Amino acid sequence: MNSRKDLPEISFDDPGRHAMTQRCTWISVAVNVLLTAAQVVAGIIANSQALVADGMHSLSDLVCDFLVLFAAHHSKDPADESHPYGHARIETAASFALGAILAATGAAIIWSAGMKLQDLGKLPPVAPLALWTAMLALFAKEGLFRYMLHVGERLRSPMLVANAWHARSDAASSLVVAVGIGGNLMGFVFADSVAAVIVGFMIVRMGVVFSWEALQELIDTGLSVEEVDSIRQVIIDTPGVGSLHELRTRRMAHRSLVDAHVCVNPRISVSEGHRIAEATRKRVLDSHPTVSDVLVHVDVEDDLDHDSSSQNLPDRSELLRHLAPVLAGLPKPHRLVLHYLKGRVEAEVFLPCEMLADPALVSRAESDFAACLSGCPPLRSLSINYRQRLSPLPGD
C-alpha cells in the first residue's frame, strides 16, 4: 500500500473532488446498511449481545456517513460575505460530531454489557450463526477502511480519513466480537458480554481522538513545529526580507493559513515593500502545497520594540502644519518624505535645484528648517535635498 506522500495530490478546487467524496461515502452507506441489518438480526436470533452491539456500531456509521455527505456538500461552497475564509471548517465540525457520536455509542454499549455481566446465570447460549456474521462484518469493514483511507488521503480530507478509521475501528470490533462469540461457543458464557464491553471501549477511544483533533483545529491550534520551521526558513530566505519577527499558522480542514510579519529596509519605497511581500507569499505557496493562503505584513522594524512610542507620534498632517510656514515660502515643486523609525520621525525635504542659484534663499530655508526641528521634539532629523524634475507626492 502506497504511503501518503506517494499518492497523487488532488487540488481543493478540482471539480472531481466533491464527486469522489460522495461516491466514497455512498459506498460506505450501502455497506453499513447491509451490515447493520445482518448484525442486528443475526445477533437477536443467535442471542449474541456482542453482535448486536457491533450492529449498533454499524448503525452509528450510517449516521456519520450522512454527516459526511452533508459536510462535503456545503464545505465546497466558495467564500462569501459571512464566511470570507470559505466553508472548509464544516468538515471539521462534522469530524467533531462524528467523534461525539462514537463516544456516546461506545458508552451505551459498555453500560448495557456491564449490566448483563452482573447476572451471568441468565445469559442464553450463543448460536454459531453469530460467529459467521461477525466474520463477514470483519472482512467487509476492513475492505471499506482501505478504500476510504486511500480516497481520504488523496483528497487530504480529515473528514474522510476520520470516517475511514471509524470503519477500521468497526473491523477491530468485529474481530473482538468474533473472538468473544467463539469463547462463548466453547463454554465461556461471559465471553460474549466481555467482548461487547471491549468493543464499547474501542469505540469510545476512537470517538475521543476524533473529537479532540477536530477541537484543536476549531480553536486554531498551529501547525507542527517542523512545518512552522520549514515555512519560517522559506520566508527568511526571500530576497529583500531582513528578518521575521512574527509567524502564525492555523489549519482549516485540509488547508493551512499563514500570517507573517517581515522586516524590510526602511528606506525603500512602499511599492518595493509590497513587491517583497508578494514574492514572500508566492514562495511559501509554491513550497508548501497544503498552505492555501499567506498574509504578509511588511514592517520596517520589530513592532514589539517601538510599538507604544510610535503610536504617540504626530501624523503627516500635523507635521505639515508645523512645517507649513517654511514650506510656504519655498518655490515649488517640493516634496516631504517622513520615516517613522525607533520611536521618532525623520524628515526628508526635496527642493528644486533652481534654489541653489539664490544662496540667500537657501541659507534662510536651512535656518528656518533648523528652527522647526528644534521646536518639534518628535522630529529626530531633517535633511534637505535638491533635485531636478520633481513631481509632488499626493497630499504634498
**pLDDT tens column, 89-148:** 777 777 788 788 878 878 877 887 777 777 666 667 788 888 888 888 888 888 888 888
With residue 315 as reference, give the H or E element that holds it.
none
Output DSSP code: residue 300: S
Q: In this model, does residue 235 exceed pLDDT 90?
A: yes
Q: Say whether pLDDT at 226 is over 70.
A: yes
pLDDT of 181 above 90: no
Contact in structure between 259 and 295 (CB atoms under 8 Å) = yes
Q: Which amino acid is at 23?
A: R
**Distance separating alpha carbons of residues 107 and 85, to the nearest angstrom:** 36
Per-residue pLDDT reduced to its tens digit, 4-58:
445 455 555 555 666 777 788 788 888 888 888 888 888 888 888 778 877 877 7
Based on its alpha-carbon atoms, the radius of gyration of the chain, rounded to whole angstroms, reads 34
Strand order across the 255-263 sheet = 243-252, 255-263, 291-299
| Alpha-carbon distance values, 390 to 83, 266, 270, 351 (Å) | 46, 22, 18, 8
Cα gap 277→260, rounded to integer Å? 10
* Helix, strand, coil content of the chain in percent (nearest 5): 65, 15, 25
Q: Which three cell numbers stand for residue 381?
A: 532629523
Task: Report the C-alpha gap between 348 and 335 in whole angstroms.
Answer: 8
* Distance spanning both ends of the chain, measured CA to CA: 68
Prediction pTM value: 0.59
Give 274's pLDDT tier (boundaries 50, 70, 90).
very high
Domains and CATH numbers, the chain: 4-218 (1.20.1510.10), 225-300 (3.30.70.1350), 309-387 (3.30.70)
